[in-house]
Structure 1
Amino acid sequence: MAGGWTSDGAVQDQIDATVGDAVNLARSRLPKGKSLSNCEECYEPISMARRQAIPGVRLCIQCQSEIEKQQTFTSGINRRGSKDSQLK
């Protein structure tokens, strides 16, 4: 049940938009093009199974894992809809 200026389903719309943004970001980060046979960071061989599973792969599993640990996701959009955020 929505209240105030929001319509029914507004919370679900916000959730759907957040998930959609995350999916689009993940898709944009997928590698494209020809896969490398050796990792561009450590020069270790990339397995054939990985190259077939992810077209355009450029990093071995270990280097890719290290990069993903360092990345954090923030959408930069306040979708909480609190009164404070609406007053600013």
Structure 2
Amino acid sequence: MQHLTDDDIKQFDAQLRGQREAVLAAIRQRLHQGGDPDQLALANHFADVREQAEADLLGDTDIGQLQLELADLEALDYALGRIAGDAYGGCAGCGEPIALPRLRAQPAARMCLACQEALEKQGPPVPH
């Protein structure tokens, strides 16, 4: 299934590691916005907010952004794990190679475009 060259793999590895470091830096910055690395910003910046509704909105926004950053980190770690396991570039859905242009656009892509679109068409599960 190897459709990527060793140079391709090295380039994707370096790119994914760089993206991972950037996401980690963003998470650290978000958690320590107050400038004191011993205090977590998410827990402490509400002391300055006068209205509970505003505090709730700020908290939801911070937590939502942190969740997105953590999801990005998980996707990057998954891709780096696939590189380490010689499985990078294969679709987690059908097993076929992911097209090189897709990997260049989304180096952490888990699926080929067809499988990703099929997954997105299914939509989220409906609670019973």
TM-score, normalised via structure 2 length: 0.39
Aligned ranges for residues 1-88 of structure 1 at < 5 Å?
8-30=50-72, 31-32=75-76, 33=80, 34=83, 36-65=88-117, 66=119, 69-70=123-124
Query: Which one scores higher on RCO, CA 8 angstroms, separation ≥ 6?
Result: 2
In structure 1, what is the Cα distance between the partners aligned to 2:60 and 2:112?
30
Q: CA deviation at 1:39?
A: 0.5
Give deviations 1:39-88, integer Å, cap 9, x for gaps. Answer: 0121233222332233332222443452683368xxxxxxxxxxxxxxxx
- The number of aligned residues is 66
Residues 15/36 of structure 1: CA separation in 2 closer, same or farther (3 Å cut): same
Residues 16/53 of structure 1: CA separation in 2 closer, same or farther (3 Å cut): farther
In structure 2, what is the Cα distance between the partners aligned to 1:41 and 1:19?
32
Given that 1:41 and 1:63 are in contact with CA atoms closer than 8 Å, whether structure 2 keeps it comes out as yes
The runs of 4+ residues in structure 1 deviating greater than 4 Å are: none
Larger radius of gyration: 1
In structure 2, what is the Cα distance between the partners aligned to 1:29 and 1:54?
14
Share of identical aligned residues, percent? 18
TM-score, normalised via structure 1 length: 0.51
RMSD, matched Cα: 3.0
Residues 20/49 of structure 1: CA separation in 2 closer, same or farther (3 Å cut): farther
Decide which structure has greater helix share: 2
